[in-house]
Chain A
Amino acid sequence: MNKFWIILFHTYLNKLKTKSFLITTLLTVVITLALTNMSNIIEVFDKGGGKEKVAVLDETGQLYVPLKEQMSALNKDLQLTEFDGSEKEAEKAVEEGEYAGIVQLRYDAEQLPEATYKAMSVADSSIFSDLQTGLQQMKTMLAASKINLTPEQLQQLYEPVSFEKIALEENAKTEEELNQARGLVYVLLFIIYFAVIMYANMIAMEVATEKSSRVMEILISSVSPIKQMFAKILGIGLLSLTQLAVLLSVGYFSIKRNLSSLEGGFFDAFGFGNISLSTIAYAVVFFILGYFLYATLAAFLGSLVSRIEDVQQMITPMTLLVVAGFMIAMFGLGKPDSPFIVITSYIPFFTPMIMFLRVGMLNIPVWEAALGISILLGTIIFLAVFGARVYRGGVLMYGKSNSFKDIKKALQLTKNE
């Protein structure tokens, strides 16, 4: 078998067997399962809680019934009961946990409803705001009937204004589509971000481990450093794809199984209802390109350090680049068409995330995406050629220093003067 493949599979199989890899995979599978079953999980907890009960102390004797009608339309989980006892008794019942709170209803000077809400704590604002909406509606209705408006007039008053958003650009995404795309892009951006950081780190560590354990010198006397570097990058790449394949298939089947219960809920909003194939295709392309860009960078940075402890320090600037790209992408989710996002999408270190954000959320011309990908590809090739030279010298360098001056030193080692 070709030496390239020997190294590739050695790297792949060895990493696959490590405890840390198995644990992270297991953990992410658990998290994926939890996320995709979120609605079921919430339901389980909600059942224990049951309906919230609120006692109504109606001083007017007239307002309880209309309020209950309003509330049943607003929130089915909020149950109103008329309380016959005194205020003190009601407060005691709340303290004992029988009710979530008390609403006291009375008329103000204008003969319009007025209310006080009492509860053990006012941290749960949802009951309060639901009640407020209900009271507001009741008050409007009462006020309207006081000034003798006809039901037609009333309806006109309440009718919402007709207001629609239409994008003039051809093929532009509608508001709803944009929201869906945002959810999908957000999730995929996260995957790209974490994968790039995690696997680039892994490569740098791998190279540095071989160097610090001095096995490197034997390796480079049998296989050229360039072959080694790319076998390693591809081996870890294969590993990342394995992990992603596990995660995605777990996620996919879990969603599929729960599809009926998820319809119309959280998942539709996140755009999983009708996943756009082109977005997924772009995600794969940008994931792979982003991986190669940062993996190459990490491999040659890793080749410059002589001790494992120095790896983190060496690759920090690279990690910051990834974080910066992610931050810009987060900003871009709200404003994907701003000039800042357009410009940064052509900067190769940001392209994998930001150009993906643009193709995912907007309908940009194909040439723009192609240009971004070409610049990215060019940078990867440049980094690979340059990185391979640094790597070749770097792996022979041992010393305390671990600064970027070493890049120059490493290049000098490989030079024929």
Chain B
Amino acid sequence: MSKAFGIINFAGNHITVDGLHEYRPIGAFSFLGRYRVIDFPISNMSNSGIDQIQVYIRRKPRSLIEHLGTGRHYNINSKRGKLIPLFSETNAENNIYNTDISAYVENLDYIEEATYPYVVIAPSYMVYSADFSTLLQTHIESGADITMLYHSVDNAKEEFLNCDILNLNKQKGVLSIEHNKGSAKNRNIFMDTYIMSKDLFLDLIKKARKLSSTYTLSQVVNYECEELDIRGVAHHGYFAAITDFKSYFDANLSLLNLKTAMGLFNSDWPIYTRTNDSCPTQYFETANVKNSYVSNGCLIEGTVENSVIGRGCVIKKDAVVKNSILLPGTSIDKDVHVENFVIDKYAKIVHTSEVVASPEKPGYIRRHDTI
């Protein structure tokens, strides 16, 4: 049993993923065929022995709530453990007041009532595996006030532009948190993951409210950098931040490299998800599939290359799907050519033969659309 409870945070106001985001929060995005993005932070917590997990939801809760259910599939103790969805009641789309801090303020009772001395806060829009129990141990032993997880990258000029970065001193002390403006290649991308005591967390929430009604948690932590002992811990392995459409597209396809995938999945760190009880996938005589992930329940007669195919998709004869992501339940009819596209749930591509975009600017077909 962990000494910490968990908080899964939502994406801030500055983050929008064109298309997909209109229908659901990023945590509920389909990922690598059978997962949702939020499965990763919740599984990390569950595998780390964290039994009580609060999931904060800002907007469009339906698909996320349906996926989370009772939380049983996350292997959390079904009596002592709890997966609690909490809402920020203002529920406004891009309201600058609708911050993580206001969601915590509205649900302050639940945070105060948690009987754990520490809290682990992780984002619902980032994909990585991390053992929070060792991280918590490190945090306690270091005596730091706050421990923050970061990932060092060498492509911060082009990627991670919607993320924050940590400026660290030589001892890994956090000097400041700022937005990644793409001005340097080598950056420590902040993984929006914090460990601190519950009491300090409560103090920060109250302090943020006093400082500014629009302050977020990262802003108040930045404000406190000089006062508090805040330390960074480097994360190794696979890391993706789903902070715009391109990053969602690239994160899925990057895992087609099995070696890369091994940095995210390993047998003693299972990633849990909700089962849909689909039967296995059926490949027909004419199927031609290469370098792809295929979920259960699909019927495949056509060609699939470098793609991620969600549950229950139909790919007809002579159809070609390349460098694309098909969300669950989509169907691609005969002779249709799909390339560099994300096809949202239940969409049908029937009457058109070319659905092609460039890899730099992948295209998107909306949910339930028939083209």
Q: Do A and B bind each other?
A: no
Residues of chain A having any CB pair with chain B under 8 Å: none
